[in-house]
């Protein structure tokens, strides 16, 4: 799967998740194209409310919580993302017990290459926008904490596939001012 397909799949998953969440709110039914203008307006207001609430929560966490705890919170979100999205679990499953197989499985969605005892995972040489639907409604900033979520997802994929701990670091990300997202997995 190339980056365009990945983005489409991510957006579809994000929109489906969001519409299913919104459908559980009082007064809503599952999203359909038969919604009246009033129902669409209500859904848009609820979506905006949820986006603003999430922004407020994350801003408060940034201001009130020490950095190690903030990183742990985002790591939990990254592990949750792995657990929610089958294609991420499939990468780990296809790479079970074999670094070579894991790299091959990654290549369907990402650029990946090995350089000695390090593995590079990159979202293309240049990316147009962040692939995470949860991040796209917030202003990016230096040292953006949201990137720890994605870092944790890749760490979880490696640890699940190869059954041992790994250190993964963010080398570059769009949200931190880079031209793409680029992660480094330390094998030793």
Asked if residues 174 and 129 have their Cβ atoms less than 8 Å apart, the reply is yes
Asked if residues 87 and 109 have their Cβ atoms less than 8 Å apart, the reply is yes
Q: In 3D, which of 157, 168, 75 has the Cα closest to residue 120?
A: 168
Tokens of 116: 């000695």
Question: Which pLDDT belongs to residue 139?
Answer: 86
Question: Which pLDDT belongs to residue 134?
Answer: 86
Domains of the chain: 3-186 (3.30.1380)
Question: Which pLDDT belongs to residue 8?
Answer: 47
Please list the pLDDT of the chain residue by residue as tens digits (188 residues): 444 454 444 444 444 444 434 444 444 444 555 678 889 999 999 999 999 998 899 899 999 999 999 999 999 999 999 999 999 999 999 999 999 999 999 999 999 999 999 999 999 999 988 989 888 888 888 889 999 999 999 999 999 999 999 999 999 999 999 999 999 999 99
DSSP one-letter code for 35: -
Residues near 96 by beta carbon (within 8 Å), at least 6 away in sequence? 161
Question: Which pLDDT belongs to residue 166?
Answer: 98
- The whole-model pTM stands at 0.78
């Amino acid at each position: 799967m190339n980056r365009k397909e990945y983005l489409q799949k991510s957006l579809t998953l994000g929109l489906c998740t969001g519409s299913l969440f919104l459908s559980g709110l009082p007064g809503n039914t599952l999203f359909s194209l038969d919604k009246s203008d009033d129902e669409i307006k209500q859904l848009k207001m609820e979506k905006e409310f949820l986006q603003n609430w999430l922004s407020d929560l994350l801003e408060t966490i940034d201001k009130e919580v020490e950095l190690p705890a903030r990183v742990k919170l985002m790591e939990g979100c990254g592990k949750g993302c792995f657990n929610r999205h089958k294609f991420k679990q499939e990468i780990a499953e296809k790479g079970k017990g074999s670094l070579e197989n894991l790299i091959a499985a990654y290549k369907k969605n990402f650029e990946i290459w090995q350089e000695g005892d390090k593995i590079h995972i990159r979202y293309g040489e240049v990316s147009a926008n962040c692939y995470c639907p949860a991040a796209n409604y917030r202003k990016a900033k230096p040292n953006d904490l949201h990137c720890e979520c994605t870092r944790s997802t890749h760490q979880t994929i490696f640890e699940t596939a190869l059954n041992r701990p790994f250190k993964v670091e963010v080398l570059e990300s769009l949200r931190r001012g880079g031209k793409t997202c680029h992660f480094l997995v330390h094998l030793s």
